[in-house]
Structure formats: structure tokens, C-alpha cells
Copies of this chain bind each other. A is one copy, B any other.
Amino acid sequence: MRMNEGVEWAVHSCLNLAWLGEDRAVPAAKLAAFYELPAAYLNKQLQALARAGIVTSTPGPRGGFRLARPPEEITLMDVVAAIEGPDEAFRCTEIRHRGGSGSGSRSETPCAIHTSMRKAELAWRRELASQSIADIAATVDDHSPAAAERVRRWFGDTRT
């Protein structure tokens, strides 16, 4: 089981967008250059965020991405769901109804394994939903206060 690498990129980009404010749009190429990521592929992830309503995109010159709502209202769960899709990690294929096992009583009782797995996954989702982009930004500001300013300076100065 492995999470898409795009999730890491997306969260970092959301953090940067949060620091840069909502009044300016940042092109995907610039967000990618900040971390030396492949620009076109990061763009793909940002598109997913846009479809999920987490960021808004504006085309043309001076265009780019910006957060669609305040960072307090964007949770890690939102970002993960946008990139990974709605499906849960464990997918019950109902093998208990195949072969010699299910012959006869095709009961409609829920699969106990599926239930247990879902319970664990819900705990995971709940924890993700409890943490917002603003929370993470606050943690970073606490540990290294210069980070936000460095981001603002870098995105303000370079004209790549």
C-alpha cells in the first residue's frame, strides 16, 4: 500500500499558497520550480485540487492557482481525497461468496473483515479531517518562523 507522491506535493503547494495569500495567483510552473518538481505533473495534481474545489484556477497571463477558501477550512482529508480519489484503500471483493464457501446460503450479513477494515480506515480519515492547512502552517511557523517569509520572498523576487 502506497500513497501517491502527488499528495505530498499538493499539501506543500497548499501551504505555500496559504502563505502567499488569496489575492495573487501562482502558476504551476513556479510552484514546481520552488521544489524542482516536474511542472507538468504538478499541474496535473493541481487540476485535481481544482476539480475538488480546493483551489481555483485562472488561465492566461497573470493566471495560476490560488486557494478557493481560507486555509482553516481546508483539511488534509480534503487534499488526500482530491488526489487519491474517493475509493477506500481496502476493497472487499466478497470472495466469501465464491466457490465452495458461498454455495448455499448467500447471506446478506455484512462481511466482518470489511467492517473491521473500514473501522480502521474511518479512524484514519477522522484524524486527517481534524487537521487543516492552517494548523500545519501554524506548526511550521512555530518551529521555524522564517519559513513563511522565505517563501514570500522567493515567490516575490525570482522572475523565472
| Residues of chain A at the chain B interface (Cβ within 8 Å) | 1-5, 7-9, 11-12, 15, 33-37, 76, 84, 87, 89-93, 95-96, 98-101, 104-105, 107, 109-110, 112-113, 115-117, 119-121, 123-128, 131, 135-136, 139-140, 143-144, 146, 150-151, 154, 158
Contacts of A96 in B (CB 8 A): 12, 35
Are B1's CB and A95's CB within 8 A? no
For chain A, what secondary structure do more than half of its interface residues adopt (helix, strand, loop), or is it mixed?
Answer: helix
Contacts of A36 in B (CB 8 A): 95, 98-99
What's the number of copies of this chain in the assembled complex? Answer: 2
Are B112's CB and A139's CB within 8 A? yes
How many angstroms between the C-alpha atoms of A9 and B96 in the bound complex?
Answer: 10
How many angstroms between the C-alpha atoms of A150 and B105 in the bound complex?
Answer: 10
Contacts of A3 in B (CB 8 A): 1, 89-91
Contacts of A9 in B (CB 8 A): 95
